[in-house]
Structures are given as C-alpha cells and as structure tokens.
Amino acid sequence: MSGTGIGARVQRKEDFRFITGKGQYTDDVNCYGQAHAVFLRSPHAHADIVSIKLDAARDMAGVVDIFTGDDLAADKIGGLICGWMIHSKDGSPMKAGAHPALAQGKVRYVGDHVAVVIAETQAQARDAMEKIEVDYKVLSPVVSMADAVRAGAPVLHDVAPHNIVYNWSLGDEAAADAAFATAAHVTKLDIINNRLVPNAMEPRAAVGDYNSGSGGFTLYTTSQNPHVARLVLSAFIGIAPEHKLRVIAPDVGGGFGSKIFIYAEETVCVWAAKKVGRPVKWVADRTEAFLSDAHGRDHVTHAEMALDASGKILGLRVKTRANLGAYLSTFSSCVPTYLYAPLLSGQYDIPAIYAEVDGIYTNTAPVDAYRGAGRPEATFVIERMVEVAAREMKQDPAEFRRRNFVRNFPHQTPVIMCYDAGDYDASMTKALEMADYKNIGARKAASAKKGLLRGVGFSAYIEACGIAPSAAVGSLGAGVGLWESAEVRVNPVGTVEILTGSHSHGQGHETTFAQLVSERLGISIDNVAIIHGDTDKVQMGMGTYGSRSGAVGMSALSKALDKIETKAKKVAGFVLEASPDDIEFKDGKFSVRGTDKEIDFASVALQAYIAHKFNGQELEPGLKESAFWDPTNFTFPAGVHICEVEIDPATGVTRIDRWTAVDDFGNVINPMIVEGQVHGGIAQGVGQALLEGAVYDANGQLVTASYMDYAMPRADDLPSYDVGMTQTACPSNPLGIKGCGEAGAIAAPPAVMNAITDALGHEEIAMPATPLAVWRAAQRLAPRAAAE
Amino acid sequence: MASVTLTVNGKTITRDIDPRTLLVEFLREHMRLTGTHVGCDTTQCGCCTVHVDGKALKSCTLLAVAVDGSTIMTIEGLAKGEDLHPMQAAFREYHGLQCGFCTPGMIMSAVDMVRRKGTDLDDKTIREELEGNICRCTGYHNIVKAIHYGAEAMGKAGTAAE
C-alpha cells in the first residue's frame, strides 16, 4: 500500500503548523470584545475569610466586574467534583469536602481562589486585584501528612475528621501474614515518592463566551478531555445543559495528566461570560501554574517483602499515606488506590499481597494524576524492594528478578489485575545485551580509577494502560465508563474525516490515527483528516490519559472502519453487479472474487453518494459510520530499563552515562512517535529522581513556585537514550496495542535510584537525589569504604 | 502611551502602546503573531525566544520600547513561503517536537546557536547551549538530533550566515 500504514515511520502531519508558528493554542484564541480575568489567590495556607472589600478595586480603570464565591452561590453554580468514589475498608464512603470554584468563607491552600477580577486588559485586572482588601483570620495549617493526622491537628473539612479522606485496603491480609510467617528472609524499606508539579509548557488557559441570542456557551480550554469537561460543567456544576455548552480544546501544549481535571478557572470564565455579557479570557502565569495545577505523587510508604531462602518472593505488605492536598481533584481519589495497589505485583509471581492506603487532606494544592498516575508509585515500591532484597540476599539483581518473573499467561495477581500477555525474560535478555551488562564490572573499575563511583540500576516495570473496561471501573467506584468513540466520514471524492473522542496534546494522533485509516482503506494519510477536541463536532468521548488513545481510541476507529468496509462492499456489489459476499477489499480496491472486475475506494465513495447504481430504499446512500469501543481488559505494557550512573563523590553530582530501555508495547503504529514517547517519559522520571520536588515550608508556602526554584530537567541534565523493543501482541483489543505514553515516567525513577544506591554501596537516599543529598551519602560511605 | 517602531519579519510598523507592553505582548496582541509563546514569563523556559537584530532574545521580559527601532524575526518569518528553513525541516524530520509549544523558541534558539557556534555541533555543545530552553515532552534526545542535522543542513544550504 501507500507506505503510510501501520508500522511506518512517517513524519507527523501536525508538525508543519507547529514549526511555522501556526499552532492554535487556547491563548491564541481571541474573541471579539473579550475582557480579561485575573484571580485573586489566597496568600495563606489555611484561613477563614472574615470579609472581602471590593469598592476600591471596582473604582480602578478598566474594571468590568469582580466576583466572589457568594456570586457563584447566588447563581447556584455547584462546586468542583471528584468523580471516583472510594470506600474505606470499613465500607464507609470517602469523606469529600466541598470544593467551591471561588472560596466560600475559607481558604485551604496558598493559591486557593478568592475572587476574580474582570477588566479590559490583563494588566488592568492585575492592578485592580491589588486593591481588593481581604480580612483573613489565619488558621494553623497542616502541611505534612504527619502533621495532618496528629491528634488535635486543625481540620480542613468538617466532614473529614483527622483529615482522613479514606482508609482503603486491597488484598488478603491473612494470606499475606501467613506468607510472612514462613519467610526465610524479610526485606523492609521506607519509601518516599516525592511531590511533583506536572509543568506542561503551555500554562492552563480558558476563554468563555456566551451568545445571548442562542443561549449557548462556548468554552475554549486547555483540556485533555473536552467532553468530560462539558459533562462535569453541565451535569454537576450547572453552567448549562450539554446541548447549550460547547467545549473546544484546540492545540494543547502538553498535559501529562494536569489538563484532565475540571478546575475553578475555566468554570468561572465560562460562567462569567454571561454575567458580564462579554467573552472572558484567562491565562495562567507560571507561578499560578505551580500553585494551582494539580500536583502529582506525594506518597510515604512502608513496605515489607517475604522471601524464601532461594529468593522467591512469598508475599508483600505495603502501607502508604497519600497526600491528596486541600480538596479532592477530579480523579484524585483513584490514583493512590485503584491505579496504585493493583500494580504492586510488578512483573512477579507473588502469591500474597496486602496494601493499605490512607488518603490525607493537607493545606497544599490538590494532588491528582500525573504521567503514570499511581503506577509510577507502585513501580517505585516494587522495583526498589526487589533491588534491595536481591542485595540483601547477595543475588544478581537481574537473576533475582528472573527467578520471580510471571511466565504463564493469563496470570491472575492477588490484586485485581489479570495480565493477558507478556514475555518478561525477552525484555530482560535484550536489555542486558544492549546495556553490555556483562562488562559492568570493568566499567566500575575504570570509574573507580578516576575516583568516581559507578552504579547500575534496573527497573522491570509493568503498567496497566488502555483504561478501561467500563463495567470493571464502575465496580471500583468510577463515575463514568471508559470506552471511546470514533466516527468515519468518507467524502464523495474518497477523502476521509475521522472524528475521535481521543485528544492529542503532543501524542501525534493526526498522524497515527491517519496511519490506521491508510492501512485499512488503502489511501494516503494526506487524504485523511483527524478531528478532535470539539464537542460540537465529535459527539462524545472520554479523552486522552492513561495511555488509552491507541488501545481504546484506535480500537473504536478500527471498529468503525469495519462498518465502513461492510457498507462499501455493498455499494461495490451494486456497481460491479455482484453479491457483497463475493466482494474482496484489498489495497484500496474492491474486486469480485475470481474475476478481473474491480473498483477503487474513491469510486465506491462517489457511488455511495450519487446512489445511481442502487435503489436508495434498498441500501442507504452515504458512507459514514461510527462506533464505540469498550475495552475487555486493561493492557499491560512492560519492559526493562537499565540506568548506569557515574557519581563524583567530591561534588555529589550524578551523571547518567547510559540509558537502556526495552519496552513491550504490543503492536506499534509509528515507531518514531513511540520512541519519542519513551524518551519524554524517561526524562520526566529522571527529573523526579534527580531534580524535581515541590517543597512547601512549615507555613504552607510553596517555595518552589518558579523555574528558578523548581528544577526542571534541561538538555544537559539528561543523556541520550538507547531504546529497543520486544513485542507480544495485546489480545485484548483488535489492534494488539498496549500503549506507550507513560512507560518512561513509570520505569525511570527506580532505575535511577537503584543505580545511585548501587554506586553508593547501598546507602539509601531519597528522591530527588540532588548533588547535596548524594554528597552527604558519599560522606557516610567514605569512612565505611576506608575501613573495608 | 509611547510610540514604537519595529521591523517585524520584514514589515515596518509604528504603534502607540502602553509603555509597559512587553515585546511578546506586542508581537502576539498587536501583530497577532501568536507563534511566539509564553511558557513562564520569567525568562527561564525560552518559549518566547525571537531574534532581535539577529540575536536570540527572550521576549517575555523585554519591553517593546526597549527595542524601539530594532529588526525582529519571529518563527513566522523563518520559512520562505512554503519552503521551510533547514532547522524547521530538521525538527520535523527527526521528530524534535511533540506538543509544539516550546518548538518556536527551540528553533529560534537553534538558528542562533548555529550563528554563534557554527554548523558542526556536537551533542555536548548543543545540550549546554539549550540551557535556556525547556521542553517537557521530548526528553531532548530528538531535539539534540534535529539541531545537529539542522545545523549541518544550514551549512550546506548556506543559510548559516544569514
């Protein structure tokens, strides 16, 4: 076929507009007559609002209007919601405090929304904001999770005594305890998964518009899932019914989870557009992004692993406290529960697992899904645990992992998941070869000669992607189903428009989705347009997160293409005067089996619309089909990453010398794009391990709220990556796709930390392993090394 | 109000502006050249990089009045019609972009890098020179590759000295 089908390394269709500056991001959208919104944010982590005086601000030049939480309440605008119900182990529902879009009487974190100023220009809105007088009664904040659960600690939400949202558990506690009772060796580890700020390069933004003639609202917003945004804004927050609310997520400059959620700002902008009778635009500055984008990770965990004398894992017990911040963000409750504990089995056959997770409120920004969402936290626990266990049992870390690998599929773990396919040995073997593991000893010696410490670290990760079967997630508390939709519109000239509920914000769907169409219909990707991100065009969709667009979104497209093929065969049958059963479709041509009669796809499309060759009562004119795909299982991408570091003990600087990644993503649509996803994921994982960390001081001030203070990975912090693949097709969707978007971010942190602790003679160290932290560990190591 | 005259992508314009108008605001809001992006508003991320009199500068902390009389090149001015600049073409060929938000700044910085460092750029130089441009999507691997080959192509096309 045309060379642009499945597996082809084709250049991206969307790139031309991006490299020429013609992308259309939300901040590039300007509506006629628009005013600008600026949010007054709380300077305190925890305070009662005694009074708000707006008079002086209202008198400022250019001010259109100013609103507070009272105005939203008067209009019966509902609060922001959390869409996943978690039940505590005693059966009680999670304790979700109210989350008004603008504060009502109380603020709960620095950056919480107090008022919105709308003015002719952004500068005027900022000037006026300075004149708002808020009288706060400052309350003691609880910043750390330990503070939050301490007896007598201040309470954020009255509905949640002791600031506990839930005490949740998964697995069979008695079975796990029994495994520990027979253990020859027990490995124990305290683990901190540091808090991160997602930092998509495009800050969040929103433009709300209201048409008083039609009564319809339009919201342009930086969203990964505009239909979910419309659903929540309509059904729960009460802006307008869905047929009166159009949500458009145009080009979106990265998401990484942070743009899944429905935030206060877009809610207020779209509501205020009607109030002031003008479009209202808001664009976050970077510090606002740090303060109010949902953060990621932030777990404190104690884990214990039971082993027999040979190094076979018998059981795992995990106790985690997860910081959920000051309010429950849209999907926050499921991240440290159902996206976390079900992955604790890793790639290993572990007979008994028991996990307990406490979700905790603190006076910090809400925490929700960030690239990997729960799975990086689980992988960090299990991959640090197996590494330390191997060290304690004096076994090679690769061999130790192999001893425990799952080898028979399907494999039911003790924590919900049923792994459908994989070959973990194949990935390990290939990774060891690519990383030249057999010569690591020589490389360590060479580094030692230079006074440097070299270490190697493994991460044999697994993730659950392609979320997810609607019935399954429903049974676990999700408020929505997680299917996806696709519509195929064939034009009379044979070009094709695809409407998908998936959303692209860097993933390259305009190319990969077109590649599937190219493969199936035998036309060039140049003749395929992918339409997404507009609720007036695409009927319904669940959006992009959890590495689901390939496995779920493209499966829906595949199903719709099946229907197109069936219909087109009928049309071809009429034209070629044959039964549709005798029509074959191959390489873009329909032919009558056993004859030389054929017609190409474009001609069939034309015939479908002119409908002269068939009776329109017998066969409907047109060529347009749609489908919804509900997955039958999660998908299970897995692989082995090997990180090799060299540390200068004099400075504590860690340099990543080699990175080997071998991933099994099932079938691959475009290897160039998949490799790019792996690179980017690793960079975020390395950022977590070496550089990044959101730090609140004792008063709840975020001290890392700019790029001067929060260490984003720069080009010279990172290595080039050696990326390889193995393949076992995924049996759970028609394309055999597993998903690749989050793998790197999931795999990387334990690989880095296992390498660093290897270099440091097994001295434990927390993320981020900054030069200071590494230097201190090296100082602890030095006298020990001298004594040895 | 203050009067500012700038030559942007070959077109000279004079406007009366609020004196606190930043160069990036002038480009985006007065000239509707929205290819220059604001990622951090504090000169850290480099999404707003443009060429001012031939040198790469970050336009998000530069007052438009401070560059009165200058010649500005933005990402929109780099290609000659449909003919991409070699650095733009290299970013596409080597998949040096994903979401595209940092890309205009990356490309403008890369072109300036070639002006300063030549067309034969090794990875170490490229990585050090990218200190002022942050990308969250690509992990830089393919950006480094794109700049290496883009620089080489600029040498062959004779565009390096422009």
* Residue pLDDT, tens place only, A663-679: 999 999 999 999 999 99
CATH of the domain at B141: 1.10.150.120
Domain count, chain B: 2
Write down the residue that tokens 């971010």 correspond to: A745
In this complex, the residue of B28, B104, B136 whose CB is nearest that of residue A254 is B136
Whether the per-residue pLDDT at A737 is higher than 60: the answer is: yes
pLDDT band at A231 (very low <50, low <70, confident <90, very high): very high
Write down the residue that tokens 């008198």 correspond to: A59
pLDDT in tens, A513-542: 999 999 999 999 999 999 999 999 999 999
Same domain, B143 and B105: yes
| A24, closest residue in chain B (CA to CA) | B34
Same domain, B67 and B8: yes
Q: List the domain range (segments joined by +) for residue B19.
A: 2-77
Same domain, B96 and B141: yes
Whether the per-residue pLDDT at A309 is higher than 70: the answer is: yes
Per-residue 3-state assignment (H helix, E strand, C coil) for A567-631 = HHHHHHHHHHCCCHHHEEEECCEEEECCCCCEEEHHHHHHHHHHCCCCCCCCCCCCCEEEEEECC
Residue A290 touches partner B, C-beta closer than 8 Å: no
pLDDT band at A2 (very low <50, low <70, confident <90, very high): low
In this complex, the residue of B40, B44, B131 whose CB is nearest that of residue A716 is B131
* Helix, strand, coil distribution of chain B in percent, nearest 5: 40, 20, 40
Tell me the chain A residues in contact with residue B141 when contact means C-beta distances shorter than 8 Å: 679, 718, 720-721
Same domain, B106 and B147: yes
Give pLDDT, residue B162. Answer: 53
Same domain, B52 and B116: no
Tell me the chain B residues in contact with residue A744 when contact means C-beta distances shorter than 8 Å: 139
In this complex, the residue of B127, B135, B141 whose CB is nearest that of residue A721 is B141
pLDDT mean across residues, chain A: 97
Query: With an 8 Å Cβ cutoff, are A286 and B39 in contact?
Result: yes
Residue B56 touches partner A, C-beta closer than 8 Å: no
| 487-506 of A, contacting B, C-beta below 8 A | 505-506
User: Which position has the higher pLDDT, A786 or A178?
Assistant: A178
Residue A682 touches partner B, C-beta closer than 8 Å: yes
Q: Which helix (H) or strand (E) holds B2?
A: strand B2-8
CA distance B5 to chain A (A): 22
In this complex, the residue of A11, A508, A720 whose CB is nearest that of residue B141 is A720
Instruction: Provide the 8-state DSSP code for A161.
Output: G
Same domain, B153 and B109: yes
Burial of A226 (0-12, 13-18, 19+ CB in 10 A): buried
Same domain, B22 and B63: yes
Query: With an 8 Å Cβ cutoff, are B138 and A683 in contact?
Result: yes
Q: How many CB atoms lie within 10 A of CB B13?
A: 12
Give pLDDT, residue B33. Answer: 98
Q: Quote the CA–CA distance of A716 and A728 in Å, as a whole number.
A: 35
User: Which position has the higher pLDDT, A784 or A342?
Assistant: A342
Torsions phi, psi of A611, nearest 5?
Answer: 55, 30
Cross-strand partners of A248: A220, A534
Query: With an 8 Å Cβ cutoff, are B37 and A253 in contact?
Result: yes
**Cβ A353 vs Cβ A726: under 8 Å:** no
Q: Name which of A410, A376, A303, A305 is nearest A634 in CA terms.
A: A410
| A507, closest residue in chain B (CA to CA) | B98
Of all residues in chain A, what percent carry a pLDDT higher than 90?
A: 98
Q: What is the mean pLDDT of residues A326-348?
A: 98
Residue A570 in tokens: 């009928």
Show which of B77, B101, B118 is a domain's final residue.
B77
Q: What is the mean pLDDT of residues A180-187?
A: 98
Within a domain: B122: yes
Same domain, B73 and B7: yes
Of all residues in chain A, what percent carry a pLDDT higher than 70?
A: 100
Same domain, B15 and B54: yes
Residue B41 touches partner A, C-beta closer than 8 Å: yes
Same domain, B62 and B92: no
Show which of B77, B108, B123 is a domain's final residue.
B77
Query: With an 8 Å Cβ cutoff, are A201 and B45 in contact?
Result: yes
Q: Which domains are assigned to chain A?
A: 32-139+215-254+259-274 (3.90.1170.50), 296-467+633-787 (3.30.365.10), 483-629 (3.30.365.10)
Whether the per-residue pLDDT at A785 is higher than 80: the answer is: no
CATH of the domain at B14: 3.10.20.30
Query: With an 8 Å Cβ cutoff, are B99 and A21 in contact?
Result: no
Q: Quote the CA–CA distance of B136 and B102 in Å, as a whole number.
A: 8
Residue B57 touches partner A, C-beta closer than 8 Å: no
Q: Quote the CA–CA distance of A568 and A624 in Å, as a whole number.
A: 10
Chain A interface, mutation test: which of B88, B101, B127, B128, most A Cβ atoms within 10 Å?
B101
Within a domain: B15: yes
Give pLDDT, residue A1. Answer: 46
Show which of B46, B77, B108 is a domain's final residue.
B77
| B19, closest residue in chain A (CA to CA) | A123
Task: State the first-to-last Cα distance of chain B, in angstroms, to the nearest integer.
Answer: 35
Residue A429 in tokens: 């073997």
Tell me the chain B residues in contact with residue A17 when contact means C-beta distances shorter than 8 Å: 100
Cross-strand partners of A317: A304, A354
Give pLDDT, residue A585. Answer: 97
Q: In A15-155, where does DSSP find H-type helix?
A: 15-19, 55-58, 69-74, 122-129, 145-149
**Cβ A734 vs Cβ A632: under 8 Å:** no
Give the three-state DSSP class for A33.
coil
Tell me the chain B residues in contact with residue A15 when contact means C-beta distances shorter than 8 Å: 91-92, 97, 100
Tell me the chain B residues in contact with residue A672 when contact means C-beta distances shorter than 8 Å: 95
Q: What is the mean pLDDT of residues A193-211?
A: 98
Within a domain: B128: yes
Interface predicted TM-score (ipTM) of this complex, two decimals: 0.98
| 20-39 of B, contacting A, C-beta below 8 A | 20, 28, 33-39
Within a domain: B120: yes
Tell me the chain A residues in contact with residue B138 when contact means C-beta distances shorter than 8 Å: 676, 679-680, 683
Residues of chain B with pLDDT under 70: 160-162
Same domain, B51 and B101: no
Whether the per-residue pLDDT at A152 is higher than 80: the answer is: yes
pLDDT in tens, A582-637: 999 999 999 999 999 999 999 999 999 999 999 888 899 999 999 999 999 999 99
In this complex, the residue of B38, B44, B100 whose CB is nearest that of residue A18 is B100
Q: Quote the CA–CA distance of A679 and A738 in Å, as a whole number.
A: 17
Query: With an 8 Å Cβ cutoff, are B37 and A708 in contact?
Result: no
Tell me the chain B residues in contact with residue A16 when contact means C-beta distances shorter than 8 Å: 92
Cross-strand partners of A118: A37, A65
Same domain, B62 and B128: no
Whether the per-residue pLDDT at A124 is higher than 50: the answer is: yes
Within a domain: B162: no
Query: With an 8 Å Cβ cutoff, are A253 and B104 in contact?
Result: no
Whether the per-residue pLDDT at A103 is higher than 80: the answer is: yes
| B124, closest residue in chain A (CA to CA) | A716
Residue A110 in tokens: 């620095």
Q: How many CB atoms lie within 10 A of CB A150?
A: 13
- Enumerate residues 6+ apart whose C-beta is below 8 A from A64: A35, A118, A119, A120, A276, A278
Residue A507 touches partner B, C-beta closer than 8 Å: yes
CA-CA-CA-CA dihedral for A503, A505, A511, A512, to nearest 10: -60
Tell me the chain B residues in contact with residue A505 when contact means C-beta distances shorter than 8 Å: 99
Write down the residue that tokens 């609202």 correspond to: A217
User: Residue A83: CA atoms inside 13 Å, Cβ hemisphere, count?
Assistant: 22
Give pLDDT, residue B81. Answer: 87
Query: With an 8 Å Cβ cutoff, are A676 and B76 in contact?
Result: no
| B130, closest residue in chain A (CA to CA) | A715
Give the strands of the sheet with A205-211, arranged side by side. Answer: A63-68, A113-119, A35-41, A280-283, A205-211, A216-221, A245-248
Count how many residues are written for chain A.
788
Query: With an 8 Å Cβ cutoff, are A286 and B36 in contact?
Result: no
CA distance A2 to chain B (A): 19
Q: Quote the CA–CA distance of A400 and A395 in Å, as a whole number.
A: 6
| 82-101 of A, contacting B, C-beta below 8 A | none
Residue B135 touches partner A, C-beta closer than 8 Å: yes
Tell me the chain A residues in contact with residue B40 when contact means C-beta distances shorter than 8 Å: 286, 706-707
Whether the per-residue pLDDT at A107 is higher than 70: the answer is: yes
Q: What is the mean pLDDT of residues A500-516?
A: 97
Torsions phi, psi of B111, nearest 5?
Answer: -65, -40
